[in-house]
Structure 1
Amino acid sequence: MSDFNKYCQEAADEELPDSEDEEDIGDEDTCSVQELAAQFRQKYKPQDEASVSLQREYVLCLSADQGFTRIAAGLSSSAMHIYNLDAGAGKLANFSFLQPTDSPKPVSICGIRFLDEGPHNIVVGTTDGYVRLYDLRLKGEQARFKYSHEYREWPVPKSMTCFDRNANGRVICCGTEQYQSNAFLLFHDVRERRQMGCYCESHEDEVTSVRFHAQNPDLLATGSVDGLINIFDAKEADEEEALTSTFNTESSVARLEWHRNVYDKDIVSCITTTGDFKSYESEEGDEVASFQRPDVTAAIRRKNAANFNLIGAHNQEDGGVFLLAGTNFNKGEILRSVSVTGKSELQPLANFQGNKQIVRDSLFDAKTGLLVTGGESGIVTVWSQETGATLAGSDKLKVKKEKKSRKQAPY
């Protein structure tokens, strides 16, 4: 297991402090209950909850199909729960369960993705280096992808840290831990069940996030412990030609997401391991927004940045972006969101009352306004909005459109 995954595993396995210890640490809101209600105008409540296990397991990652009708939850045991979601009622129903990976060594899930537009095909990545394809209508795995040593003269790490599939479900890209001063991006062809190639020179430390663009199957963003965000044109076989942009976050990258503003410009955002948030225009390279941990802590109206937990950045239907954040204080009781309204401005957005755990991952459906969270108490929660307020928009600086490339992809 890589150093980054070991850190995450140990942090999650640590016993939560008791109430006396929490009082010594100290944390509280920076304003009154009345002021909170006035500032966080959107109110969310738990619509439904499901416990993934009676054992001490926690939810590492979540994924939803394109229609937001099926939710997959990957557990710390490498098992996976799959639920049907009635979006209208906000209710979860058990659908399927995939057993933990049978391995002599400890194995953890490092990602789950539905493969295509439907709710049936799902790919699961595990830290032992495998990506497994399942058809939920059939029994057993349908395919398995792993690095082949025939492609290069030297071996790559056996441990995989992250993966993603592209927009048309044809290509899988896997990130690895550091090996001999390099980290690897491995590409697999899903239909032909073969390895396509790899990039191995753009990151010098463990790859922590791999994200394909939601519409462009060739556009790939990768992040690493080395602090770099790299943008690739993945149809290029040569790594030097494929690398189109590089951003230095001056931190360690934890999570990447793609966004598109109202002017149809692609934005890539980053959450760092220190809880900072940064976003960039993927083509022109301009910094769109940058907020340090204390900035977001203050925006959710909490006092102690040491307890702060930045969970995710989500797209809104109007092109805006909001950040979901909470605290580790009192077992994650505080869960709130803020809207990114400019390069250096955050506005209070929503308050999620009744949270029971430290949240590790989240999903948001802009059409229905439903939020799904999973975390360290092993609970999958569906949140619904109590009011019909419109989500705040994003910064609307006008930018010119670039011409699309006419190069043909080789796959």
Structure 2
Amino acid sequence: MTDFNKYCQEAAEEELPDSEDEEDIGDEDTCSAQELAALFQHQYRPHDETGVSLQREYVLNLSADQGFTRIAAGLSSSAVHIYNLDAGAGKLANFSFLPPTDCPKPVSVCGVRFLDEGPHNVLVGTTDGYVRLYDLRLKGEQARFKYTQNEGIAPVPKSITCFDRNGNGRIICCGTEQFHNNSFLLFYDVRERRQMGVYCDSHEGDITSVRFHEQNPDLLATGSVDGLINIFDVKEADEDEALLNTFNTESSVGRLEWHKNVYDKDIISCITNTGDFKSYESEEGDEVASFERSYVTEAIRRKKAANFNLISAHNQEDGGVFLLAGTNFNKGEILRSVSVTSKKSLQPLANFQGNKQIVRDSLFDSKRGLLLTGGESGIVTVWTQESSGASVSSDKLKVKKEKKSRKQAPY
């Protein structure tokens, strides 16, 4: 038995329920296996997998370069693994390792992003308040961005919760937790390595997601636990003038993504921290779709919404949007997707068989139909549509061993 297989077996044994009460929280499908196969007509299996370490580290964030040839996986230890992806073969190969932050207190990654169109420059955001720039062709970090207090500005927290870079790689925006009744959006100029400014009046809770539009480098969407999604034109230095639109989800915003509808209009989607899905036209403000947690649970043909886990919303090559969802029951073995077909309708799409973990983040390459997932068992998985001999065998799972143990809470 390989070290990685032994690790997975030990983790599974540790997580077995030790009381009848815990067994009672079990979950099951709402239809037979034959009905599932008929409904979810696309079947996916793991084509390649790699474990990031033997230290029970979570994969919290995934990012791909524009060509989908290089993958960055950010961990709960604040380390980052870089992989080369042979998209044609669906295989991962270790390329580089960015060590964890040297900090006396526990620090985790709050985001990883490739800076530009190429596969070399990677930004890593960590909860100690820094965004670090690495050039994978060189040794060590190349720049470090952290907010410096300006006179007349309210105190800014020393930690950040999320970040993104804009479409041309010139600007970084970081979101912070609420601090002294203020939540901050911090801006940096990447090329000049300088602090640009701050927005601090548009959110009243921890900022949980910031997402620049991929084609329009000046368009920014932000979300917060206050339930608001704000759309900004960051060309404007004044926050009131920069604010273009606001949507109230009446929930707590967890994750934002940009999409296009059939009329080429910009859509912003939101996964809430309560497992609901909502989307809006960013300019007109009309609601495009809204699905409660219980409805999406039914759509993936599971019984208990309490175990439900809505992970990501992805763009398809034909312009459609699908939701990746699963359950937290039994190490997250259930992983399925449904397509958004109308404002109030979801259609079963794909079933992902052989999942070994609760998934925390995912990437989708619409041109090749590849899905990548990372999660709480520290595994990065490449999923491909099922064909004969396509699934990965257990003796080929890989793991990168670390010499130093860094056990800590994954948050």
TM over 0.5: yes
Q: Do the aligned partners of 2:169 and 2:190 also contact (CA within 8 Å) in 1?
A: yes
User: Whose RCO is larger (CA < 8 A, sep 6+)?
Assistant: 2
Residue 409 of structure 2 is matched in structure 1 by: none
The structural deviation recorded for 1:155 is 1.8
Using the alignment, how far apart are the partners of 1:37 and 1:117 within structure 2? 39
Query: Taking every aligned residue pair, what percent have the same amino acid on both sides?
Result: 83
Shift of 1:148: 1.1
Secondary structure of 1:25's counterpart equals: coil
Equivalent position SS for 1:181? coil
For 1:348 and 1:21, how far apart are their aligned partners in 2? 32
Whole-angstrom CA distance in 2 between matches of 1:17 and 1:129: 37
CA distance in 1, matches of 2:219, 2:230: 11
Match of 1:339 in 2: 339
Letter in 1 for 2:17: D
Consecutive unaligned residues of structure 1, counting only runs of 5 or more, are 1-14, 388-411
Partner of residue 88, structure 1: 88
CA distance in 1, matches of 2:251, 2:169: 31
Q: Distance in 1 between matches of 2:78 and 2:21?
A: 31
* 2:140 alignment partner AA: G
The code of the aligned residue for 1:202 comes to: S
Aligned to 1:355: 355
Distance, in Å, in 2 between the alignment partners of 1:82 and 1:153 is 38
Counterpart of 2:395 in structure 1 is: none
CA distance in 1, matches of 2:111, 2:98: 14
Inter-partner Cα distance in structure 1 for 2:22 and 2:362: 25
Q: Quick one: structure 1 residues 194 and 151, their matched pair in 2 at CA, closer, same or farther if it must change by over 3 Å? A: farther
Q: Match of 1:405?
A: none
TM superposition shift of 1:60:
0.5
2:263 aligned partner: 263
Alignment correspondent of 1:125: 125
Summarize deviations over 1:275-319 as a string: whole Å, max 9, x none. Answer: 000000000000000000000000000000000000000000111
Alpha-carbon distance in structure 1 between the residues aligned to 2:22 and 2:319: 38
Report if the CA contact (8 A) 1:262-1:318 is conserved. no
Structure 1 residue 151: deviation in Å? 5.8
Q: Are the counterparts in 2 of residues 314 and 364 from structure 1 also a CA contact under 8 Å?
A: yes
Paired position in structure 1 for 2:312: 312
The alpha-carbon deviation at position 95 of structure 1 amounts to 0.3
CA distance in 2, matches of 1:153, 1:260: 37
The reply to whether residue 282 of structure 1 matches residue 270 of structure 2 is no
Amino acid at match of 1:89: A
- CA shift for structure 1 position 215: 0.5
Q: CA deviation at 1:150?
A: 2.6
Asked if residue 72 in structure 1 is aligned to residue 72 in structure 2, the reply is yes
Equivalent residues in 2 for 1:178-257 (5 A)? 178-257=178-257
Q: Please tell me the residue identity of whatever aligns with 1:236.
A: E
Mapping for residues 381-396 of structure 1, pairs under 5 Å: 381-386=381-386
- AA aligned to 2:236 is E
Q: Does 1:377 align with 2:377?
A: yes
1:104 Cα deviation after fit? 1.1
Structure 2 unaligned runs (5+)? 1-13, 388-411
Question: Which residue identity is paired with 1:182?
Answer: N
State whether residues 40 and 350 of structure 2, in contact with CA within 8 Å, keep that contact through their aligned partners in structure 1. Answer: yes
Whether the 8 Å CA contact 2:155–2:180 is kept in 1: the answer is: no
Shift of 1:153: 3.6
1:297 corresponds in structure 2 to 297
Which SS does the other structure have where 1:160 is aligned?
Answer: coil
Superposed displacement of residue 152, structure 1 = 4.2
- What value does the CA root-mean-square deviation take over the aligned residues? 1.1
| Number of equivalences | 373
8 Å CA contact 1:79, 1:97 repeated in 2: yes
Is 1:18 paired with 2:17? Answer: yes
Distance 2:151 2:320 in 1: 42
Quick one: distance in 2 between partners of 1:114 and 1:209? 17
Contact 1:68 1:85 in 2 (8 A): yes
Which residue in the other structure is 2:36 paired with? 36
Q: 1:263 Cα shift?
A: 1.1
Query: Distance in 1 between the 2:16 and 2:236 partners?
Result: 50
In the TM superposition, what whole-angstrom CA distance separates every residue of 1:138-167 from its partner, at most 9, and x where no partner exists?
000000001011364432111100000000
**Cα deviation code 1:330-353 (max 9, x no counterpart):** 110000000000000000000000
The corresponding residue for 1:7 is none
Q: How much does 1:182 deviate? A: 1.4
